[in-house]
Amino acid sequence: MSPILQAALWMIGAIVSFTSMAIAGRTVSVELDTFEIMLFRSLTGILIVVTLAKFSGTLGQIRTDRPKLHLIRNACHFAGQNLWFYALTLIPLAQVFALEFTTPIWVILLSPLLLQERLTAVGLFSAALGFVGVLIVTRPELSNISPGLMAGATCAVFFALTAIFTRKLTQTETITTILFYLTVMQAVFGLICAGIDGDIRLPSAGISVWVILIGIAGLLAHFCLTKALSIAPAGIVMPIDFIRLPAIAVVGMALYDEPLDALVFVGAAFIFAANYLNISFAERAREN
């Protein structure tokens, strides 16, 4: 089997996992708030990470000299993931995913500040093109700006910060270490935020399976994406990820009677073009 076909199959796994997490997140939101969702997702994640680390022999890798960077990284991810779950309950799924796809654009803009990476003309043009896509998706007007749109747009910023700090961590930390601190710290964040009002609701029997699915799907999605990137270039892998948008739009229409908004797809095309342009330029620069 060719590397491209292998990467495509791994990306199908990632797309199914991300879609499953979105459906499960919307399902459990009828009983749990976003902090409670994150708490139980993280507890499920701890169990999965520790079990897999034990069987793979990487449990001994869990140690770090960079607790502050883990804390910052996981606080950003916790904020972004909460905003993502919140947006799922307020706006169409296709809009949430389209806005999430702006994460690489924010990485372009923030990397010079946080990683001292050079901001290129292509990077600036890609960011501008992606911003046009966001405007098409959201069509901002004073009467049109909703909490859901704001949450969906802001979560991408926090996901970008997460990606940047993850890049820093991978210089010294193993994947097992990163995932362990991710799940443990976010469980603590979830416990504090969910329990600040003195009332943490336990998932009922009816949604317990969906809560577990969120934990499994979240880890599996990122594993499949990482695996695909290890097999094929990002310029091939990331465009496949954009299949998530039409896929989730069909799911939204089938399960929640959400209309297929043509402008969401037009805006997503701009965002896709911006990401693809930046990735292609980066790969050509690396080859040269």
Query: Looking at residue 244, what is its pLDDT?
Result: 85
Tokens 């966001």 -> residue: 134
Rounded distance between C-alpha atoms, residue 103 and residue 130, angstroms = 10
Burial status of residue 120 (CB atoms within 10 A of its CB: 0-12, 13-18, 19 or more): middle
Mean confidence (pLDDT) of the chain: 87
Which has the minimum average pLDDT: 102-116, 168-182, 223-237, 244-258?
223-237
Rounded distance between C-alpha atoms, residue 194 and residue 78, angstroms = 13
Q: Is 61 left (phi over 0), alpha (psi -120 to 50) or beta?
A: alpha
Give per-residue pLDDT as tens, 245-259: 888 888 999 999 998
Rounded distance between C-alpha atoms, residue 186 and residue 75, angstroms = 7
- Give me the DSSP letters along 190-220: HHHHHHTTS--PPPPHHHHHHHHHHHHHHHH
pLDDT band at residue 235 under the 50/70/90 scheme: low
Give per-residue pLDDT as tens, 149-204: 899 999 999 998 988 888 888 888 888 888 899 999 999 999 999 998 878 999 99
Mean pLDDT value across residues 42-50: 93
Give per-residue pLDDT as tens, 117-142: 777 788 888 888 888 888 888 776 65
pLDDT band at residue 211 under the 50/70/90 scheme: very high
Query: Looking at residue 161, what is its pLDDT?
Result: 92
Query: Looking at residue 175, what is its pLDDT?
Result: 84
Mean pLDDT value across residues 4-13: 88
Mean pLDDT value across residues 97-114: 85
